[in-house]
Amino acid sequence: MPKMNMIQALNSALDIAMEKDPNVVSFGEDAGYFGGVFRVTAGLQKKYGLDRSFDTPINEAAIAAMAIGMAANGLRPVAEVQFSDYIFPAIDQIVSEMTRLRYRSAGQYTQPIVIRSPWGGGIRGGQTHSMSPEAFFTHIPGLRVVIPSNPYDAKGLLLAAIENNDPVVFFEPKRMYNGPFDGKPDGALQSWANHPKGEVPEGHYTVPLDQAEVVREGNDVTLLAYGTLVHVALSAAEKSGIDAEVIDLKTLTPYDIETITKSVKKTGRCIVSQEAPRTSGFAAELAAQIQEDCFYSLEAPIYRVTGWDTPYPHAHEWSYFPGQDRFINALKSVMEAA
């Protein structure tokens, strides 16, 4: 099976989707000729033409609005927001329009749209290239939020998102475009070439939009993660010597409550994690729902491993980023709690 990094896997998904369905179009700032600042859309303009893969003016609201108009008229737009930090000018179009159109028109218009956006920190991007704004989007009814953690899923989830008829915000953990990251910034760079999830079929396949995956089985504690933190969580579980079950959520809304509760009922302990600031983050939603559904199985409080309630700092990135040590500490605390 071919080896792909996450950029190649995403590019392959777009290529296949555009090949298969002439109504799929891709656009964004620098996403046409140049193929995107991270090169995820590279080659598509050459292959599919100027009107199927194109650059846009720098106006994220207009990008979303163009996608809305196109989708209502039968296309399947895949729009890129250059960094997820810059998605806020578009959020009104997403909250007030895209995610409500099916509802308010009682199904007369639909919105098969994917908004892709490089997401998360760990690249010394400072406060404007590091955000993890997923919680804002998980609070929006009618929106799917998807965050892959590896090339195999990235491709399968992106294809599923494009083929799905609901609007999807698809965040791409840019720290892992080229390789998994264990949360230790000083370690050697890793490559997807040596990772099982770097094996990516050339052809079409999908990964379901509503299923989480147990990526490490364990009996003592359930550790929930998505995106960049999946690998950090895994490495921490290995290092800690604690028999943790690690679940990669993949889709945040709607999240896979079954897989989650099954695990927590088994282990009796749970850690939820996110890179975003703690307060009102998505980990809070998980904790709230899990304590409700698994209350009588819980032997310890659910712990949150998160970024701090501060903007993302530049120089002290690694004091902000929830790395291995913070996960290991949490694992120890949750095991000690009783």
Partner 1 sequence: MATHEPRYRVPVPKYRPGDEPDFSHLKIPAAGQAKRPGVDVDGRDTIDLALGMVRVLDHNHQAVGEWNPEIKPDVLREGLRHMVLTRVYDERMLKLQRQGKMSFYMKSTGEEAVAVAGAMALKDSDMVFPSYRQQGILFARGRDIVDMMCHCISNSGDNLKGRQLPVHYTWAEGNFFSISGNLGTQFPQAVGWAMAARYKGEDQVTASWIGDGTTAEGDFHGALTLASTYHAAVILNVVNNQFAISTHQNMAIGDAPTFAMKGLGYGIASLRVDGNDFLAVYAAMQWAAERARKGHGPTYIEYFSYRADAHSTSDDPSGYRPKTEAKAWPLGDPIERLKNHLIGLGEWDDERHETLEKELNDLVVKSYKEAESHGTLHDGPLSPIPSIFEDVFEEQDWRLIRQRQDLGV
Ligand X SMILES: Cc1ncc(C[n+]2csc(CCOP(=O)(O)OP(=O)(O)O)c2C)c(N)n1
Binding site for its own copies (CB under 8 A): 61, 85, 88-89, 91-92, 95-96, 99-100, 103-104, 127-128, 133, 135-136, 138-142, 253, 272, 276-277, 279-285, 287-289, 291-293, 295, 298, 300-304, 308-311, 337
User: Exactly one of 8, 25, 26, 29 binds ligand X (CB under 6 A); which one?
Assistant: 29
Measured from the CB atom, is 26 or 251 closer to ligand X? 26
Outline where DSSP puts E strands in the chain: 24-28, 53-55, 76-80, 114-119, 144-146, 168-173, 213-216, 221-225, 244-248, 251-253, 270-277, 303-307
Rounded to the nearest whole angstrom, what is the least distance from the CB of residue 21 to partner 1 in the complex?
13
Q: With beta carbons less than 8 A apart as the criterion, state whether 147 and 2 touch.
A: no
Q: Which does 281 bind (CB under 5 to 8 A by kind): its own copies, partner 1, ligand X, none?
A: its own copies
Assess 174 for contact with partner 1 (CB under 8 A).
no
Strand partners, 208: none
Measured from the CB atom, is 200 or 276 closer to partner 1? 276
Beta strand 168-173 with 303-307 is unpaired
Tell me, yes or no, if 129 is annotated catalytic.
yes
Strand partners, 173: 119
Q: Which of residues 255-284 bind partner 1 (CB under 8 A)?
A: 257, 278-279
Helices then strands (H, E): number in the chain? 12, 12
Rounded to the nearest whole angstrom, what is the least distance from the CB of residue 53 to ligand X in the complex?
17
Q: Which does 66 bind (CB under 5 to 8 A by kind): partner 1, its own copies, ligand X, none?
A: partner 1
Instruction: Return the range that interacts with partner 1 (CB under 8 A); candidates 6-14, 141-149, 194-202, 268-276.
Output: 141-149
Assess 313 for contact with partner 1 (CB under 8 A).
yes
User: Which is the catalytic residue, given 129, 139, 195, 204?
Assistant: 129
Of residues 164, 263, 158, the one with CA closest to residue 212? 263
Three-point CA angle 204, 207, 212, nearest 5°: 170
Measured from the CB atom, is 95 or 214 closer to ligand X? 95
Q: Which residues have CB under 8 Å from 144's CB, separation 6+? A: 161, 164, 166, 167, 168, 169, 209, 251, 253, 254
What's the rounded Cα separation, in Å, for the pair 321 and 232? 11
Q: Which does 47 bind (CB under 5 to 8 A by kind): its own copies, ligand X, partner 1, none?
A: partner 1
Question: Taking the CB of residue 218, how many other CB atoms lie within 10 A of it?
Answer: 17
Assess 202 for contact with partner 1 (CB under 8 A).
no
Measured from the CB atom, is 11 or 99 closer to its own copies? 99
Using DSSP's 3-state secondary structure scheme, residue 323 falls into coil
User: Exactly one of 116, 144, 174, 269 binds partner 1 (CB under 8 A); which one?
Assistant: 144
Q: Which of residues 73-92 bind ligand X (CB under 6 A)?
A: 82, 86
Measured from the CB atom, is 188 or 196 closer to partner 1? 188
What's the rounded Cα separation, in Å, for the pair 294 and 214? 18
Binding site for ligand X (CB under 6 A): 29, 58, 82, 86
Active site residues: 129
